[in-house]
Amino acid sequence: MSKNATIQNSIKKGPIMFVLIIGAFLATFNQTIMSVAIPELMNDFTIKASTAQWLTTGYMLVNGVLIPITAFLIQRFSTRQLFQSSMIIFLAGTIVSAVATSFPILLTGRLIQAAGAGIIMPLLMNVVLSLFTPEKRGSAMGTVGLAIIFAPAIGPTLTGYVLETLPWQYMFYGMIPFVVIVIICGFIYLKNVSEPVISKVDVMSVVLSTIGFGALMYGFSEAGNAGWSSTEVVVTLVVGILALVLFTWRQLISQNPLLDLRAFKYNMFTLTTIINIGVTMMMYADMMLLPLYLQNARGFTALESGLLMLPGALLMGLLSPAVGKLFDRFGAKWLSIIGIAIIIISTFGFIDLTDSTSYTFLILMSTFRRIGMAMMIMPIQTAGLNQLPSSLYAHGTAISNTIRQVAGAIGTALLVTVMTNSTKNHLQAFATGGAQGETQKHMVMEASIQGINDAYFVILIIGIFSLLFSFFIKRVKDASEEKTIILKKPARI
C-alpha cells in the first residue's frame, strides 16, 4: 500500500475538511466584498474610482504573486503549520482593515489579508487530492465548491445589507470572530496530511515569478482603466511576459522547480486548464457586468443588486455536493457540456438588455446561469487534477489557481475594454444620428446598456469555444495507477 493510500485510510477526514472549507469560505468571501463597497469608500476617503480600485486590484496582485510559491510552501511545511499561519496573517489583515482611519491603512490591511488568503485555496485542494481516492474526489470537491462558488456569490448581498444599515468597518469587524473560531478549531482538529520535504527555495525563480505574474496581473487590471495603448500598460505587460518566459525556462531546466510545469505533459490537465480560463472569464460576467448594469444604468441599490444574485447563489450551494457525486459516477464530460450549454443559453438573455428589462427576468436568467456554473466548475478542475501523480499535486493545484487569477485579470480587462469602447461608439452614433428628443443623460444610459450587451456577446463567444473543448474531455486514470499497471504487465506474461 502506498504512503498516500495509508494517509487516505488512517486520517479522519471530516474535521479536517470542515476546518479547511470554513477557512477557504472566509478567504473567498473576503475577496468579493469590496466591489459593492467602493462607492461608499470613495466618499468616506474622498478618493477617485481609480484609487479605490486598488482595494480589489491590490488584493488580486498579491494573490497572483503568492499562489505560484504555494507549491514550495505546501511541500516545505506541514498542513497545520501552513494553514494556521495563513489564517493568522489573514486575521491580522482583517483587524488592520477594521480599524483603518485612512485609505493607505485600509489598503495595507487588504494586502495583508491577501497574503494569508492566497495560500488557503491551493492548500485545501492539495489536501483533497491527498486524502481522497480519485473515485471519491468528486464528492469532496463538490463540498469544496461551497467555498469557491457560494462565498463570492453571497458576498455582494451581505455587503449590500451591511452598507445600508451599518458603517463599512463592520464588514471586517463581523469577520474577526469567525476567523478566530477557525484558528481555534485548527489547533484542535487539523492534522498533517503530508510530511514536509526539506528543500531550498530557488530565489531567482521567486523573483521572476513575482515580477512576471505581478506585472502581468497589474497590466491587465490597468488596461481596463487606462486602455491597452497606454504606455504604462504596454511596458508592464512586456516586462511581465519576458519575466514569465525566463521563469518558464528556469522551471524546465531545474531539478527542483518552484512550479513544476511538467504537469502540462498530462493531456487532461492541460485541456481542463484551457477550459478553466474560459470558465473563469464567464464567471466575471455576472460578478462585474450585472452589478454595473443594475446600479449604474438602472439605478438599483447595492442591496437590490446583491439580492438579485442570491437565489442563484443558494442553488449553487445546494447543487455542488450533488454535482460532485454525479462526477464520481459519470465523469466530467457531460456535466461540463450541459453546464456550459446552460450558461450559453442564459447569456442570450443578457445580450439584449434594455432600460425596461424586468427585475424578475434578470433573476431567472442569473439563477439559470449559476445552475450551469455549479454543474461544471468543480468537475472540470477535478478531472484535470485527477490525472496527476501525487508528486505533482501541490504543483498542479498551484498552477490551476494561478491560471484562475490571471484569467480573472484578463477577463476583467477584456470586458471593461469591450464595454468602454462599445459605449463610446454607441454614444457617438446616437449623437451623430441626432436622436430626437433624447436628453444627454438618457443617451449615456442607453449607450452604457449597449456596451454591456456587447460585453456579454464576447462572453457568449468564449462560452461557445469552451463548449467545443469540453467534447474532448475523457475519463483517465491517474498517472500513478497507469505506472502500476505497466509495471505489472511483464509479471503476467
pLDDT digits (tens, 9 = 90+) for 17-67: 889 889 988 888 887 777 677 777 888 888 876 677 778 777 877 877 887
Q: What is the pLDDT of residue 63?
A: 78
DSSP string, 188-237: HH----S--------HHHHHHHHHHHHHHHHHHHHHHHH-TT-HHHHHHH
Return the axis-axis angle of helices 359-386 and 333-347, rounded to nearest 10°. Answer: 150
479 and 350 co-located in one domain: yes
Range of the domain at 346: 263-493
282 and 221 co-located in one domain: no
Closest by CA position to 294, among listed 52, 35, 40: 35
At 386, is the pLDDT very low, low, confident or very high (cuts 50, 70, 90)?
confident
Non-local CB neighbours of 80 within 8 Å, separated by 6+ positions: 186, 190, 191, 192
222 and 355 co-located in one domain: no
Cell of 23: 477557512
Say which residue, 396 or 238, is predicted with more confidence.
Answer: 238
CB neighbourhood size of 155 (10 A): 24
The residue length of the chain stands at: 493
Stated pTM of the model: 0.77
End residue of a domain, out of 257, 274, 300: 257
Separation CA 223–CA 52 (nearest Å): 16
Judged against a pLDDT cut of 50, whether residue 251 lies above it is answered with yes
Most confident of 49-63, 243-257, 430-444: 243-257
476 and 338 co-located in one domain: yes
Say which residue, 470 or 317, is predicted with more confidence.
Answer: 470
CB 141 within 8 A of CB 327: yes
472 and 336 co-located in one domain: yes
Measure the CA angle with vertex 419, ends 418 and 421; round to 5°: 65
Please report, rounded to a whole number, the percentage of residues in the chain having pLDDT higher than 90: 22
303 and 427 co-located in one domain: yes
DSSP string, 127-189: HHHHHS-TTTHHHHHHHHHIIIIIHHHHHHHHHHHHHHHS-TTHHHHTTHHHHHHHHHHHHHH
150 and 247 co-located in one domain: no
110 and 168 co-located in one domain: yes
Q: What is the pLDDT of residue 482?
A: 46
246 and 271 co-located in one domain: no
132 and 216 co-located in one domain: no
Q: What is the pLDDT of residue 1?
A: 47
Least confident of 18-22, 174-178, 403-407, 458-462: 403-407
What CATH number does residue 110 fall under?
1.20.1250.20
End residue of a domain, out of 241, 257, 273: 257
227 and 298 co-located in one domain: no
Q: What is the pLDDT of residue 335?
A: 92
Q: What is the pLDDT of residue 487?
A: 40
Number of domains, the chain: 3
227 and 321 co-located in one domain: no
